Amino acid sequence: MKFEYQIEEKDYLDFQLYTASKSPRFEKKQSNGRYFITICSLILACYFIYAKDWGLAAYFGLTTAVFFLFYPWYFKWRQKVHYTKYIRRNYKNLFGRSEEIEIKGNTIHMVNSTGAGQIKASELKKVIETQNHFFIQMKTDASLIIPIHDLNNVGILRKEIHAMKIPVEKDLDWKW
């Protein structure tokens, strides 16, 4: 069966954010930034306590707490802004174009505005199913993005993916 869909900016953004959120580097970067800013602010608060400048000590004490509590939210917001700019700059010509896939046996046939191609099941690493997308990862680390909201027969697509005997990782609760 053929499945037609269009990939929009939000689909590319969700893929980038999902990939980033599952990276150990992302967690480490967030943690390092949080503790670096918090410790710097705490050092300044301690300095002003030592200097007996209570106004600035209270200010930096308060900013220490604010940085520690709200940095994860700020970091995610900055990452989302970064990826949005990246996607608009690099993928703007791909938004809204019609794409089509068809699963035949152990092969995925794809057709889009740039051409047609096929991928053998042996070249696929896994399929990740989120609440809004299927991300089909290949062994080359390239991925196909299939938005669920555009598909009429999601259940049939699931059955055809399972029939290909590719590992399916369900992450239906994922949110940025």
User: Which of 40, 67, 92 finishes a domain?
Assistant: 92
**50 has pLDDT over 90:** yes
Let me know if residue 65 belongs to a domain: yes
Task: Examine residue 50 and state whether it is found in any structural domain, yes or no.
Answer: yes
Amino acid in the structure at residue 112: N
Q: pLDDT-derived band of residue 65, with 50, 70 and 90 as boundaries?
A: very high
| Total domains, the chain | 2
Answer yes or no: do 105 and 34 share one domain.
Answer: no
Reported as a pLDDT band with limits 50, 70 and 90, residue 44 is: very high
Domain containing 162: what range? Answer: 2-7+94-171
Q: What is the mean pLDDT of residues 62-76?
A: 95
Q: Would you place residue 52 in the very low, low, confident or very high pLDDT band (cuts 50, 70, 90)?
A: very high
The HSE-up count of residue 79 (CA atoms within 13 Å, CB side) is: 22
- Residue 18, amino acid: Y
Residue 150 has pLDDT above 90, yes or no: no
In the prediction, which pLDDT does 86 show? Answer: 96
- Residue 139 and residue 122 share a domain: yes
- If asked whether residues 80 and 106 sit together in one domain, one would say no
- Of 92, 114, 129, the residue at which a domain comes to its end is 92
- 54 and 76 share one domain: yes
Q: Which of 8, 3, 5 is nearest to 101 (CA)?
A: 3
Domain co-membership, 41 together with 54: yes
Distance CA 91, CA 9 (A): 8
> Is position 176 within any domain?
no
| Judgement on whether residues 104 and 133 belong to the same structural domain of the protein | yes
Instruction: Convert the pLDDT of each residue in 93-111 to its tens digit.
Output: 889 889 999 998 889 999 9
The closest alpha carbon to 130, from 53, 4, 18, 26, belongs to: 18
Which residue, 92, 125, 148, sits at the end of a domain?
92
What is the pLDDT confidence band of residue 1, given thresholds at 50, 70 and 90?
confident
Asked whether residue 123 carries a pLDDT value surpassing 90, the answer given is yes
Residue 143 bridge partners (DSSP): 137
* Domain shared by 15 and 71, yes or no: yes
Q: Kindly tell me if the per-residue pLDDT of 149 is higher than 90.
A: no
Inform me whether the pLDDT recorded for 113 exceeds 90: no
Between CA 8 and CA 79 the distance in angstroms is 19
